[in-house]
Amino acid sequence: MTAHTPVFCSIVPPHVLDRLARSADPAVAEAARRTLAVDLGHREARTVRPASGPAEPGTGKPRRTIYDAKNGTQLPGHQVRAEGEPTLADGTANRAYSGLGATFDLFHEVYGRDSIDGVGLPLLATVHYDEKYDNAFWNGEQMVFGDGDGELFLDFTLPVDVIGHELAHGFTQHTANLAYYGQAGALNESVSDVFGSLVKQHALGQTADQADWLIGAGLLAPSVSGEALRSMKAPGTAYDDDVLGKDPQPAHMDDYVRTNSDNGGVHINSGIPNHAFYLAATALGNHAWERAGRIWYEVMTGGTLTEEARFSEFARATVAAARQLFGEGEEAAAVLDAWARVGVPTS
């Protein structure tokens, strides 16, 4: 089986960096251009990756290793912390270690999944990547975090949901393997937002109504007019800033964005399935990972999705999973209503 999911999946969309590269602020523009150039190099390195088996049997416990690139670009870098070793003086490395653990815990404790591949994949992360690097990414094998430029973006290990989001690309890579273009790509991004948000909620013990439903809260510098990179509760409202621009995400199919950039707008149109999950999760209440999250997890691992799935196919699969898991009860009704409210047909 050949994986269509790109090796390189980043948290900050290209359209944001493209805008920043044209900024009148030389420092902002330089950091963005540098980030774009590095990201392009990763995208062009390999676009497909053969699916591989586990290197060793799973243990049911996380196996984390943190590396320090020391502001270079050689991966993985210098090892600074392995599983079970004490905390370091470097808060960035400690946050990466904790975030990998929080992601492992959600999948293992809630869904009985041994790491993101289901068979104990070791979780690797490199911190302090490059200089003023404005991104974090999953490259098919490990996590990588930039320190941010300090002007617009802060340290990319600060929001635990950013770590969960990127690792969830690995989860998708090893399950439904959604293609990374068009609606399938938007679903790929949305699934990462869903599980990234669930990682945060699970770590904080939050119910659906207590959660902020923001992706990347705490990542934007204080000078930026915005709360986060994306909002699942209200797509299109996460930021509205003179330099960063305005959040372009739609919440309904009526506003679906047709574009050739960003692989067909995968980071933009993901707002639609994101909002559907938010609506289903908040309608069901309590902890979102218990029922809404279980339904989405079942769809991703159930083997019924095509790799080029459109929103309607995914929506139908969530309805079927809700009925399979919970019967014809409030769960199926909440999922049906959620997709109806974002304009995606389920029949």
CA distances from 47 to 5, 43, 88 (A): 8, 7, 35
Contact by Cβ (8 Å): 296, 197: no
Contact by Cβ (8 Å): 248, 24: no
Question: Is 227 known to be catalytic?
Answer: no
Residue type, 300: M
CA 267 to chain centre: 10
In terms of Cα–Cα distance, which of 92, 120, 88, 89 is closest to 104?
120
Q: Cis ω on the peptide bond leading into residue 273 (within 30° of 0)?
A: no
B/e letters for 13-48, b = 16+ CB within 10 Å, e = fewer, are bbbbbeebbebeeeebeebbbbbbebbeebbeeeee
Beta bridge partners of 9: 138
Question: Is 275 known to be catalytic?
Answer: no
DSSP, res 321: H
The catalytically annotated residue of 151, 166, 227, 313 is: 166
Residue 158, CA atoms < 13 Å, CB-side half-sphere: 17
- For 311, phi and psi rounded to 5 degrees? -55, -45
The catalytically annotated residue of 4, 174, 267, 287 is: 267
Active site residues: 166, 267
